[in-house]
Amino acid sequence: MEPAVSPAFEWRQVPAGRVVVAVPLVPLAAHFFSTRDVSHQTRDPDYRSVAASFGVPPRHVVDVRQVHGRDVLVLQPGGESPAAPVEADAIVSLDPDRVATIRVADCIPILLADRRRRAVAAVHAGWRGTAAGVVEATVAVLEQHGVRPADLVAAIGPGIGACCYEVDRPVLDTFLRRDAAADAWFVPAQTGGRWRLDLTRANRDQLVRCGVPAGSIHEIGSCTRDRPDLWHSFRRERDAAGRMVAAIRLRASGLVDR
Ligand SMILES: [Zn+2]
């Protein structure tokens, strides 16, 4: 089966297996969205393969303990990586030596890079994080470090599509409590009292609202639940689901081909 991703994305083969890169991000920052070739169920080998893909030592691959919130970890140049992952759902990196990573299986992975190369970011946005505005919080932290939203290029990677994501009233209400405009992201489902939620669109709209140009936001256009050949999906695989890694480094020099 031919892997279906939008024309702004390309397949690569690296030590972490098949990965997808966003072509507009390539000149700004080495990065990828992994496929299910990375499982993350066995962390060390997976992170060694992620490190090898960037040509860095494993201790330079930074992850966080994801809690579906809006806290952002900032990596300063020359800083030490935390001994144990800290609680956060996004990483802003000002450090060209380290690789910022988040893990997903249906949640939306978002990678951001600054055209003026001051910083990059990796964001984990499930429904709770999206409702909390995690991508908006990330852009705010980038701004605190001198990045203009107008200079950001964003890649929205593989997550669950509105085709496969039915939610109930409490989810809709959680969004509406924070954001009256959120109903644009929900479409009534066939089943009464349920809605289909478009998390990619929600995150795109939030980025635009922060000042990221719509033309600088690129979507992979592949639903994790629909493609068991490519992606892990928590909704499909439940407790057996692995996690994919989205990774980015503040240095354009490329990935290691395998
Ligand atoms: Zn789907």
C-alpha of residue 6 to centroid of ligand 1, in Å: 15
Reported confidence tier of residue 44, pLDDT bands at 50, 70, 90 = low
Helix, strand, coil: what percent of the chain each, to 5?
Answer: 30, 30, 40
Asked if the model's pLDDT at residue 142 lies above 70, the reply is yes
Which pLDDT does position 3 carry in this prediction?
57
C-alpha of residue 49 to centroid of ligand 1, in Å: 28
Average pLDDT, the chain: 94
The DSSP code for 135 is H
**Per-residue pLDDT tens over the stretch 53-110:** 999 999 999 999 999 999 999 999 999 888 888 999 999 999 999 999 999 999 999 9
Which pLDDT does position 40 carry in this prediction?
72
Reported confidence tier of residue 138, pLDDT bands at 50, 70, 90 = very high
**Per-residue pLDDT tens over the stretch 170-180:** 999 999 999 99
Q: Which residues contact 33 (CB under 8 A, 6 or more apart)?
A: 19, 20, 21, 109, 111, 155, 157, 158, 220, 244, 245, 246
Q: Residue 107: phi, psi to the nearest 5? A: -60, 160
Give mean pLDDT, residues 11-31. 96
The domain spans of the chain are 9-160+204-249
User: Does domain 9-160+204-249 sit in CATH 3.30.465.10?
Assistant: no
- Indicate whether this model's pTM tops 0.85: yes
Dist. CA 66–CA 102, nearest whole Å: 8
Asked if the model's pLDDT at residue 206 lies above 80, the reply is yes
Sheet hosting strand 120-125, strand order edge to edge: 72-75, 90-93, 120-125, 108-114, 152-156, 217-219
* Burial classification of residue 80, based on how many CB atoms lie within 10 Å of its CB (0-12 exposed, 13-18 middle, 19 or more buried): exposed
CB within 5 A of ion ligand 1: which residues? Answer: 161, 163-164, 223, 225-226
Report the amino acid identity of residue 100. Answer: A
Q: Which residues contact 258 (CB under 8 A, 6 or more apart)?
A: 13, 14, 15
